[in-house]
Amino acid sequence: EVQLQASGGGLVQAGGSLRLSCVASGFTFDDVSVGWFRQAPGREREGVSCIRTSDNEAYYLDSVKGRFTVSTDNAKNTMYLQMDSLKIEDTAAYYCAMVRGGDYKRLCLQLGFDDEEEYWGQGTLVTVSS
């Protein structure tokens, strides 16, 4: 059974940093795309950053470029999202997700997959205060 477990959210002041982690079980990080998404109250879910584990090619939402860094530790089946220079508008529930194969952009743009199932973790709440 595939499971994703996200953690690391919390309350932080604007300008601060947090690191989110997502531990996966039931599959290995070989040839998969993994990513982070967020959903703020009253807003649509958006793809924040996704990465292809085979070569570390990554996608970032424009508003987080230069502030957030996605990475994986394939040996630990774990993905991370380092969030620096946090802004109030980064406040949201953050979710991790995985799909087999290398189409990390499609994952982040939420275009859907005809032949592969997407797996989602539960959210971890990030609150950025002024």
Is pLDDT of 28 > 90?
no
**Taking a C-beta distance cutoff of 8 angstroms, is the pair 31, 83 a contact?**
no
**Taking a C-beta distance cutoff of 8 angstroms, is the pair 70, 49 a contact?**
yes
Burial of 12 (0-12, 13-18, 19+ CB in 10 A): middle
Alpha helices in the chain (DSSP H): 104-108
**Rounded CA gap, 11 and 62, in Å?**
23
30-85 pLDDT, tens digit per residue, is 889 999 999 999 999 999 999 999 999 999 999 999 999 999 999 999 999 999 99
89-104 pLDDT, tens digit per residue, is 999 999 999 999 999 9
Range list of β-strands (E), the chain? 3-7, 10-13, 18-25, 32-39, 46-52, 58-60, 68-73, 78-83, 92-100, 119-120, 124-129
**Rounded CA gap, 53 and 58, in Å?**
9
Strands 92-100, 18-25: pairing is unpaired
